[in-house]
Amino acid sequence: MVNDTLQVLTIAGTDSSGGAGVSADLKTFMAQGVYGANVIVSVTAQNTLGVQSVQMIPSEVITQQIQSIAEDLSLSAVKTGMLGDVQTVNTVAKALKKYNFGNYILDPVMVAKGGAKLLSDKAILALKTQLLPLAVMVTPNIPEAEVLSGMTIQTHEDIMAAAYQLQLLGAKNVLLKGGHGKELTVYDFALLADGSHFWLKSQRVDTERTHGTGDTLSAAIAAQRVLGCDMKTAIIKAKAYVDATIRSGIQVGHGHGPLNHLAVITKENQPEVINDI
Ligand SMILES: Nc1ncnc2c1ncn2[C@@H]1O[C@H](COP(=O)(O)OP(=O)(O)O)[C@@H](O)[C@H]1O
Ligand SMILES: Cc1ncc(COP(=O)(O)OP(=O)(O)O)c(N)n1
């Protein structure tokens, strides 16, 4: 059942193959039992093999979409995904400052799994200065954390240092995702607003079908916050959900296939929570 009083917004781009972007976010919100609204900032022609084209939506249309929702819905959280260019980052930042949508989760999407650029170089600085300070949570993968922190990340110590740097730049909580890589064990690192930290340890699923994992994780965190979880619990529950969606694979497309958003979480999906590694 969807709880219609729990309303969450995603501001992101579309993915015509339905695996990432707004599609992943709305499927995740629904699966978590919260109501999802969407503001489209870009339309991508995309499939599991790559991104074929990107069309950005004009700023005034983005502003109008946000205003329409703000005037009617009762939102308690918002997440942003692909924002594309500097104009869009600035437009979204202006709207987030104007309207109070509650918890703001920033997924700093930069590059799709197939390698296509989803954020321009100029927009990176705008995202750092305009959006990071507004975010209750930022969820970079390792390459994104390197770009935002200006640091090279090779070791677990580097991961922690980069997360602290992102907190210094204004994000209250940081979840640094460790999905990129080849190791058999995946570690995500969480740094919370009170200065505490923990690692989420899980076994890597040997699959190419991970299209939209980052979107799904950040959308699930937003949903769990709206459902009333504290930040640590929201992160752990969201991680278990993503793990379930990867493990219950579906066979769509011929490349980086999408997740199964209706997956049921079992004990097997619970990450190990550890303080230090
Ligand atoms: N093959 C995999 N097996 C298990 N977990 C994964 C796998 N790939 C990604 N994840 C998890 O999915 C989430 C998203 O991570 P990641 O893929 O790094 O983000 P992004 O999609 O933004 O690049 C993280 O919690 C990560 O640990
Ligand atoms: C429209 C759109 N938004 C975001 C992404 C990237 O999503 P992400 O969850 O990081 O997944 P992968 O691209 O890493 O599979 C996208 N591809 N398209």
User: Considering the entire predicted model, what is its pTM?
Assistant: 0.97
Q: Which protein residue's CA is at the shortest distance from atom 2 of ligand 2?
A: 21
Distance CA 246, CA 120 (A): 29
Give me ligand 1 centre to Cα 111, in Å.
14
Give me ligand 1 centre to Cα 177, in Å.
7
The pLDDT tens digits along the chain (277 residues) read: 899 999 999 999 999 999 999 999 999 999 999 999 999 999 999 999 999 999 999 999 999 999 999 999 999 999 999 999 999 999 999 999 999 898 999 999 999 988 899 999 999 999 999 999 999 999 999 999 999 999 999 999 999 999 999 999 999 999 999 988 889 999 999 999 999 999 999 999 999 999 999 999 999 999 999 999 999 999 999 999 999 999 998 999 999 999 999 999 999 999 999 999 8
Pairing label, strands 185-191, 197-203: antiparallel
| Residue 144 Cβ < 6 Å to ligand 1 | no
Residues having CB within 6 Å of any atom of ligand 2:
12-15, 20-21, 44, 46, 81-82, 109, 112-113, 118, 211-215, 256
Q: What is the ipTM of this complex?
A: 0.97
Beta-sheet strand order (sheet of 173-176): 50-56, 34-47, 3-15, 75-80, 103-106, 137-138, 173-176, 185-191, 197-203, 272-274
User: Hey, which of 110, 113, 138 would you mutate to test ligand 2's pocket, going by the most ligand atoms within 8 Å of its Cβ?
Assistant: 113
| Residue 162 Cβ < 6 Å to ligand 1 | no
CATH for the stretch 7-274: 3.40.1190.20
Closest ligand 2 atom to 112 CA: 13
Give me ligand 2 centre to Cα 114, in Å.
9
* CA-angle at 94, arms to 89 and 95, nearest 5°: 100
Residue type for 240, please? A
Q: How many CB atoms lie within 10 A of CB 164?
A: 15
Q: Which protein residue's CA is at the shortest distance from atom 21 of ligand 1?
A: 214
Residue 226 is classified by DSSP as H
Q: Which protein residue's CA is at the shortest distance from atom 8 of ligand 2?
A: 212
> Residues 164, 156: contact at Cβ < 8 Å?
no
Give me ligand 2 centre to Cα 117, in Å.
10
> Residues 272, 240: contact at Cβ < 8 Å?
no
Report the length, in residues, of the chain. 277
Task: For residue 16, give the 3-state DSSP assignment.
Answer: coil
